[in-house]
Structure 1
Amino acid sequence: MARICAFCGFSGKLTGEHVFGGWLSRIGLPLEPTPHHAGPLNQVIRKLGVRPPFRQTVKDVCGTCNHGWMSQLEVVAQRVMTPLILGEPGEIAVTEAGAIAAWVQKTALTAMLVSSEEEREAGYGLPASEYRELWTLRDEARPLPTSQFWIGQYNTGSRLASAWVTPLAVVVEGLPEPDLPQGYSMTILVGQLVLHGVRFTTPSLQVEVTTRKDLPQLWPVAVSTVWPGGAPIDDALFLYLADGKAIRSTEQHIQVRPWKPATELPESRAVGDIVELPTICGEHVVYYPAGLVHDAMRGRFYAFGTTCECSTAYLIQTGPDGAHCRFTGTAERISELYESLQGEDILIQDGHGTFLCKRLPESFRPE
């Protein structure tokens, strides 16, 4: 069966389209081999191997799209974004904001094609209509309708490039969360530049939104966007954006938040004097003392590191609504993140052994 271009629907021989344009390997960014990852929502990230950056391609794009309108967006992106990616102050003119926002959307959609066709048919990814609709706008250099974008500066340096998409739900106070998402957030990081956006796929449920971190708006705008601006973005804030948690509705009694079936784990359960917490891999559980739950009910919160049977390590934080996995990675990386947290180390000894956790400061308030 002939493969079909995800964007225009062409059936025939397809090309290899880079997730991130090849020009990014020629502007002075580090090019040492680095681990590449992709992963289904709410599951452990899938390892794609160690290789030089900006080499990842997908095979669901035809030559006409690849070398036509998509290439034209890359040309604008290279010219406008290169100084910002390298940390040089600058601005994005109103006349170019639409093309940059369209580049963000195109990059996010392309990144989702890294997963297999079978995975996408099983529900991972975005509706095929998103690709086709962006293609219909190929000559207009602007993103899809009901989209909004912001821009920020990444100042940590531990990430070189990343593309995240998280489904979103529009939740009206007093009503249950909808069965299907009504939008998605896009978070693209390259060098020191972060681009964050939201697209409502159900136009009737479009909501006026801002970011909780007051990032400068890129699209739609009436004046040039000056960069850098807003709060500097470290690793924790980047993941907060990528998780779709930074988008705030300006309309009373309406929330825009990550769609739980795609982003939340199954609920934990009490087993005697310990709590059994399902891990992101979907196959194992970890445990922590039930006393942490009782403390959380009184407004006292903790963080701890743990590892499941498949050797994936997690940084867990308790909150008023339960325990949440904040980060996954190697045991060494989770240990570093744990040590960086403010708070007092606590040893809890019970019939199950010794449990190390950190009591977070009273000023700590879970997002």
Structure 2
Amino acid sequence: MTKKCVFCGRSHPVVQFSREHVLPAWLSREITLTKHCSYSNQLKGKDLVERNINGQSPFTMTVNKVCRICNNGWMSERLESPVKEILMALIEGRKIVLNDEKKLLISLWSIKTALMRGLIDSEGDPAIMSHYEDIYKLKIPVNTFIWLVNTAPGYSLVSTRHMRFISNENPHKNLSQTNCVAYYTSINIGCLSIQILASKSKDLITDFNVELFNSYLSSCSEELWPIQEKPIYWPLRDCIYTDPRMIMDGVIRHDPLLKINNHVGKQK
């Protein structure tokens, strides 16, 4: 089978392929890490399959399914370069106001990164496949929800976590032939945790405990997409000071065990 770029669909010899980082290389030069963790989980029917990727950190994970034209073109020029200053302010917990333009830019970057993260797992669809074309067109896919969560200042963990939800219509079907109907990605860097939830159908969203962001995490999270009318003032009023990867567990398993640190946003 001819290898094709997951975003633009072009193949060799029209395009050449290069190894593209899941988290951009520029970010690794900005952040000093004391701990590396990366998890990739998959839910097939009712069985949870854990896949830990040994020997790789979030900054060393690369995929070879993106062409050089996409890598050095729109991904770099339209996303990475414009988002850098905004993203670093969020990561470092510096004051910044996110208007609609900045919200859109961060949302596009977040989904692109989630789709790249999905490519690490080689079995079955890495995510909803039509979303790759949507992001190539710089379009937010329908039924996509993104939240920003303020994590504790000085939290040095950098982690990514990707979970795919697969149709269980044929439980005996080979995993490599299954279709992804929803995915949930968590990107945690410094003071910033980005939670991305997307599905083929809006009805599937009701299977997740998204009310966690409006209730338990209401003071330390903001909905980034769909865009709300008000701007986002960062840092937020409160933050979480336990492992932000537990947020995904709360949304999926309805069992939040997070601790909230009050009024971090009021600190100078």
* 2:117 is equivalent to residue 115 of structure 1: no
Corresponding residue for 1:200?
Answer: 199
Q: CA deviation at 1:165?
A: 2.8
1:129 and 1:195 map into 2 onto residues whose CA distance is: 21
What amino acid is aligned across from residue 189 of structure 2 in structure 1?
V
2:40 and 2:144 map into 1 onto residues whose CA distance is: 24
Unpaired stretches in structure 2, ≥5 consecutive residues: 43-47, 170-178, 258-268
Tell me the matched-pair count: 230
With over 3 angstroms needed to count, the CA separation of the structure-2 counterparts of 1:40 and 1:240, relative to structure 1, is: closer
Flag the structure with higher strand content.
1
Could you say which structure has the greater relative contact order, defined with CA pairs below 8 angstroms and 6 or more residues apart? Answer: 2
Q: CA deviation at 1:204?
A: 6.3
What amino acid is aligned across from residue 85 of structure 1 in structure 2?
I
Larger radius of gyration: 1
Once the two structures are superposed, the pairs formed by residues 38-187 of structure 1 within 5 Å of their partners are: 38-41=39-42, 42-49=48-55, 54-71=59-76, 72-116=78-122, 119=123, 121=124, 125-135=126-136, 137-138=137-138, 142-155=139-152, 159-167=156-164, 179=169, 182-187=181-186
Q: CA deviation at 1:48?
A: 3.0
What amino acid is aligned across from residue 105 of structure 2 in structure 1?
A
Corresponding residue for 1:224?
Answer: 231
State the 4+ residue runs in structure 1 displaced beyond 6 angstroms.
none
Q: CA deviation at 1:206?
A: 6.1
Corresponding residue for 1:6?
Answer: 6
Q: CA deviation at 1:25?
A: 2.3
What amino acid is aligned across from residue 188 of structure 2 in structure 1?
L
Contact 1:36 1:48 in 2 (8 A): no
Q: Secondary structure at the match of 1:195?
A: strand
Residues 63-106 of structure 1: CA deviation (Å, up to 9, x unaligned): 12111221121112212111221121222121121110111111
1:38 and 1:20 map into 2 onto residues whose CA distance is: 14
Q: CA deviation at 1:36?
A: 5.0
Corresponding residue for 1:282?
Answer: none
Contact 2:8 2:70 in 1 (8 A): yes
Corresponding residue for 2:26?
Answer: 23
1:182 and 1:114 map into 2 onto residues whose CA distance is: 18
With over 3 angstroms needed to count, the CA separation of the structure-2 counterparts of 1:232 and 1:31, relative to structure 1, is: closer
TM-score, normalised with respect to structure 2: 0.72
Residues 19-43 of structure 1: CA deviation (Å, up to 9, x unaligned): 111121233x2156x5454444233
With over 3 angstroms needed to count, the CA separation of the structure-2 counterparts of 1:199 and 1:127, relative to structure 1, is: closer
Residues 158-203 of structure 1: CA deviation (Å, up to 9, x unaligned): 653222233469xxxxxxx985875333321112111123223125
Once the two structures are superposed, the pairs formed by residues 240-255 of structure 1 within 5 Å of their partners are: 240-243=246-249, 245-246=250-251
TM-score, normalised with respect to structure 1: 0.54
With over 3 angstroms needed to count, the CA separation of the structure-2 counterparts of 1:50 and 1:239, relative to structure 1, is: closer
Residues 324-353 of structure 1: CA deviation (Å, up to 9, x unaligned): xx9xxxxxxxxxxxxxxxxxxxxxxxxxxx
Unpaired stretches in structure 1, ≥5 consecutive residues: 170-176, 247-256, 259-318, 320-325, 327-367
Q: Secondary structure at the match of 1:48?
A: coil
2:168 and 2:145 map into 1 onto residues whose CA distance is: 22
2:195 and 2:242 map into 1 onto residues whose CA distance is: 14
Q: Secondary structure at the match of 2:188?
A: strand
1:79 and 1:127 map into 2 onto residues whose CA distance is: 29
Contact 1:187 1:242 in 2 (8 A): yes
Q: CA deviation at 1:157?
A: 5.2
Once the two structures are superposed, the pairs formed by residues 319-330 of structure 1 within 5 Å of their partners are: none
* 2:245 is equivalent to residue 239 of structure 1: yes
Q: Secondary structure at the match of 1:58?
A: strand
Q: Secondary structure at the match of 1:55?
A: coil
Cα root mean square deviation, aligned: 3.2
Once the two structures are superposed, the pairs formed by residues 249-264 of structure 1 within 5 Å of their partners are: 257=252
Q: Secondary structure at the match of 2:53?
A: strand
1:230 and 1:60 map into 2 onto residues whose CA distance is: 40
